[in-house]
Amino acid sequence: MGANIGYIGIDHHHRDPYFAVASELDATITAVCEPGRRVDVGNIAAMDDRPDEITTEGQDMADLVGGAAVYEDPHELVSDADIDVVWITYRSDETPAIIESAVENGVHVISEKPIARTAADLEDIADRANELGVTVSPTMYYRRNPVAMTLRDRVSEGFFGDVWTLDGRFNASQLSYRDTDHYLYDRETSRGGALQWIGPHWVDVMPWILDDPIARVNARFHDAVEADVEAGAVLQFETESGTLGTYHTGYYLSDRGKDTHLGLYGTEGQALTPLHHDSLQHEPTVPLDITSEHPDWTAAPKRTVEFEFTYDRFPAWGDFVQDYFEDYFAGYETGDVPATVDDAVQLLRVLDAAYESGERGGWVEVEG
């Protein structure tokens, strides 16, 4: 029997692709909520307040949620609706309270990253979820990106030797392409901009590839003209084992799409890849260039592996996103999911340290 889903946060630019994901799952959206608004499920696609570039063209939203119960109060939804999972794409300052209600009612959660503004907003709720055996998971779907998974496997095998350094770049379209009146770009609601919103994907996946948490950071930010959050950030970091890293992220591009790069450098090998791909770039593959001094590679010390990305189930970024959600729904009852609430707390602790570093300067230790 499939899961019953309650979906909270209709006015969000990931709504359409996530509804498309849900349509491919063994699950049914049986309840919907946009807090404080009465949603017309028969005309849900007309809600065009979504601020970003990720949409699913031609998706008939009414077919997916036509029979869903409608709530204006998210806490009422998780307490009264007969649901197994609540799927949240809502503002970071109010999401933790909704998750707390879900946890107390035994409803599992999948929530848009970073889930909260700060780690302190989520830590007690995470402890309670773990105590009650309720699964709370953030959308950290690069953990199912095939290039990232390959790199993690290589690192764990010792293929690269001791990893000296890691550098990443994830830049997206400028704020002029976005509706900066939306709550995503409000400091009181979201805390930050580029690092808080597009940045978390790789702030999570880089230490995940290494299986080595970030221990301290040094960050600088570019203020935005169009909003009261940052337009971009540069982050230096050091992991617990001593690997050094850098990360650039921002709303910098004068066109839609992404500009991405990931480099990993070890004593016995290195890897270079864009890692990310989206259909806006019109490239069917993502390359992974690996150089190694391993004896098995002496005939061809540098090799390129081409990963073919498909978009039938998630046209915006690639089907690995669908894989992430399929893994979540296969494992939420037992807690066997790609990313846990503890991973979300750890991510927020890194972001907390980064924003503290930006305010006072210098290196800041990551708590916990």
In 3D space, the residue among 278, 275, 233, 274 whose CA is nearest the CA of residue 251 turns out to be 233
For the question of whether the overall pTM of this predicted structure is more than 0.75, the answer is yes
> Structural domain tally of the chain?
2
Judgement on whether residues 242 and 106 belong to the same structural domain of the protein: no
Tokens (6 digits) for 266: 């070890």
Question: Rounded to whole angstroms, how far apart are CA atoms 159 and 155?
Answer: 6
Judgement on whether residues 128 and 183 belong to the same structural domain of the protein: no
pLDDT at 59: 47
Judgement on whether residues 109 and 21 belong to the same structural domain of the protein: yes
Question: Rounded to whole angstroms, how far apart are CA atoms 324 and 18?
Answer: 12
Judgement on whether residues 200 and 60 belong to the same structural domain of the protein: no
Residue 320 domain-assigned (yes or no):
no
Judgement on whether residues 239 and 262 belong to the same structural domain of the protein: yes
Judgement on whether residues 43 and 116 belong to the same structural domain of the protein: yes
Judgement on whether residues 73 and 153 belong to the same structural domain of the protein: no
CATH code at 9? 3.40.50.720
Judgement on whether residues 114 and 203 belong to the same structural domain of the protein: no
Rg (CA), the chain: 20
CATH code at 189? 3.30.360.10
* CA dihedral over 221, 192, 316, 181, signed as positive or negative: negative
Domain hosting residue 126, numbered range: 3-141+329-339
Residue 323 domain-assigned (yes or no):
no
Judgement on whether residues 97 and 224 belong to the same structural domain of the protein: no
Show pLDDT as tens, one digit a residue, over the chain (368 residues). 689 999 999 888 788 888 888 888 999 999 999 998 877 766 665 554 444 444 444 345 556 777 889 999 999 999 999 999 999 999 999 999 999 999 999 999 999 999 999 999 999 999 999 999 999 999 999 999 999 999 999 999 999 999 999 999 999 989 888 888 888 899 999 999 999 999 999 999 999 999 999 999 999 999 998 899 999 999 999 999 999 999 999 999 988 778 899 999 999 999 999 888 765 555 677 888 999 887 777 777 777 787 777 766 666 677 889 999 999 999 999 999 999 999 999 999 999 999 999 999 999 999 98
Judgement on whether residues 128 and 164 belong to the same structural domain of the protein: no
Judgement on whether residues 242 and 108 belong to the same structural domain of the protein: no
Judgement on whether residues 300 and 204 belong to the same structural domain of the protein: yes
Residue 119 domain-assigned (yes or no):
yes
